[in-house]
Amino acid sequence: MPFPTTLVESRADLVPLLEVQNIDEIGRKALDNLWSQGYVMYAGLSPEDLEEVTVISNQEDVREYALRDSTERFVNQESGIAWHASKGGRAPFLLKPIKVPAVFGYSWTGFESKPSPEKAQADPELHHFIERYPGTSAFRLDPRARGKHIARLLAIATVSATRALYVPDIEIGLESWASNVRAIGAYKGADAEIVLVRDTMRPTQQSTIWPDGVRPDVRFRWNRMVPEIGDESWASDQETTQRFISLGAQLVRLTNHVRLLEPGEDTPQYINRKGERQRPDTRVFMGFPSPLQLAA
Ligand SMILES: CC(C)(COP(=O)(O)OP(=O)(O)OC[C@H]1O[C@@H](n2cnc3c(N)ncnc32)[C@H](O)[C@@H]1OP(=O)(O)O)[C@@H](O)C(=O)NCCC(=O)NCCS
């Protein structure tokens, strides 16, 4: 099992991320930066920590933007244990102040749920996003740690530690609601970009404005700290794609398209309104690591 599935026995079993040797450079810098501001991060979740996580999960903003934390995931020990083991395991991380033995924030990563074949067919871009970013992530700060510009560091360190401790090289997507300006600020600060936008409904606590307890919002899915988009190619043009990769480019985004057939190309096809022969293909967007990524 690549992700952990059980609580650790006690706080003494938590793993201080500053002691994880193979964490990447960007994660190391984020952890050093947190340390200089008086915070440390740990991998793991003990029963005592779970109690504090439950308290934070009931905090107003967490209930507004991540209601399932307080209603399903961290209601009590039993639900916390079940959550930890779910979907092939979840990797919890804790943010604690150096001087106080308390949880000031938590985050986690794990595998994204695969859409059913019907859903994947109905929303191929979402399907591509999940294939490209098979990891999912979540971030919550207690109000005591808010407004200090550390959320982006929590996000960066969480992803780097996931790769160092559990699933090397996993690509992890981020999600936020369009109305969640702080989360958006944090993800932008982590050099991520929005790659998928979906109008949808979400539960809300603002019952005076939304008496039904749901409101329209926009779900953003972000990639994580990827570079500016530079070059493009078609997925079927593997030679060009490989050439970009050999130059140091990384895959940034995949989008479904149709393109004109090359002469002599023998593939499934259809004729567009102009009478041209086309085929479905995937547009591959490549980019180079940005200076921001390196400066974190
Ligand atoms: C999302 C969350 C982790 C962000 O932490 P935070 O301490 O509130 O945010 P920060 O102070 O680090 O601010 C994040 C960024 O948003 C910007 N920001 C904050 N308030 C803003 C506002 N009203 N308008 C525009 N930008 C804003 C900040 O300037 C900061 O950017 P910077 O670091 O580049 O300066 C925290 O608010 C939280 O736990 N919310 C509840 C749970 C949640 O929504 N989680 C996210 C979904 S997974």
C-alpha 15/C-alpha 92 separation (Å) is 11
pTM over 0.85: no
Q: Are residues 90 and 186 in the same domain?
A: yes
Q: Do both 164 and 240 map to the same domain?
A: no
Tens of pLDDT, residue by residue over 215-231, are: 988 888 887 655 555 67
CA angle 37, 42, 43 (to 5 degrees): 150
The pLDDT, as a whole number, for residue 49 is 97
Q: pLDDT-derived band of residue 124, with 50, 70 and 90 as boundaries?
A: confident
CATH number for 189 = 3.40.630.30
Residue 127 has pLDDT above 80, yes or no: yes
CB of 177 shorter than 6 A to ligand 1: no
Is 204 in the same domain as 286? no
* Domain-embedded: residue 1: no
Which residue range forms the structural domain that includes residue 131? 11-225
Q: What is the tens place of the pLDDT at every residue in 243-255? A: 878 777 777 777 7
Residues 187 and 273 in one domain: no
Residues 98 and 243 in one domain: no
User: Which of 149, 143, 109, 113 shows the shortest CA–CA distance to 131?
Assistant: 113
- Answer whether residue 288 shows pLDDT above 70: no
Given 170, 193, 225, the domain boundary residue is: 225
Q: Is residue 4 in some structural domain?
A: no
Cα 184 to ligand 1 centroid, rounded to whole Å: 7
Mean pLDDT in residue range 12-16:
97
Domain termination residue (choose one: 225, 244, 271): 225
Mean pLDDT, all residues of the chain: 88
> Quick check: is 157 in a domain?
yes
Q: Which ligand 1 atom minimizes the distance to the CA of 183?
A: 1
Q: Is there a domain that residue 6 lies in?
A: no
Residue 149 CA, ligand 1 centroid: distance in Å: 7
Together in a domain, 149 and 238: no
Is the pLDDT confidence value at 295 over 50?
Answer: no
Residues 120 and 236 occupy one common structural domain: no
pLDDT of residue 177: 93
Instruction: Give me the pLDDT at residue 3, please.
Output: 96
The Cα–Cα gap between 126 and 231 comes to 22
Whether residues 241 and 203 share a domain: the answer is no
- Identify the pLDDT of residue 254: 77
- How open is the CA angle 42-45-49, to the nearest 5 degrees? 95
φ/ψ of 284, rounded to 5, equals -105, 125
Q: What is the pLDDT of residue 293?
A: 43
pLDDT at 224: 64
Question: Highest mean pLDDT: which of 69-73, 184-188, 208-212?
Answer: 69-73
Domain tally, the chain: 2
In a domain, 5, yes or no: no
d(CA 166, CA 163) in angstroms, rounded, equals 6
8 Å CB contact between 228 and 289 = no
Q: Could you count the other beta carbons within 10 Å of the beta carbon of residue 273?
A: 5
pLDDT confidence tier of residue 9, bands split at 50, 70 and 90: very high
Contact 56, 63 (CB under 8 A): no
Substitution site in 67, 94, 182 for ligand 1 pocket (most atoms within 8 Å of beta carbon): 182
212 belongs to a structural domain? yes
End residue of a domain, out of 225, 249, 271: 225
Examine residue 2 and state whether it is found in any structural domain, yes or no: no
- The token pair that represents 256 in the structure block: 């479904």
What is the average per-residue pLDDT within 15-32?
92
For atom 31 of ligand 1, the residue with the nearest CA is 185
Query: Position of tokens 């920590």?
Result: 49
Q: At what angle do helices 25-36 and 151-165 cross, to 10 degrees?
A: 130
Report the atom number in ligand 1 closest to the C-alpha of 151. 12
For the stretch 135-188, pLDDT in tens is 999 999 999 999 999 999 999 999 999 999 999 888 888 999 999 999 999 988
Tokens of 278: 């086309």
Rounded to whole angstroms, the Cα distance separating 238 from 180 reads 39
Task: State whether 19 and 72 are in the same domain.
Answer: yes
pLDDT of 37 strictly over 80: yes
Judgement on whether residues 144 and 241 belong to the same structural domain of the protein: no
Do 107 and 240 have their domain in common? no
> What pLDDT sits at residue 96?
98
Q: Residue 38 domain-assigned?
A: yes
In a shared domain, residues 72 and 212: yes
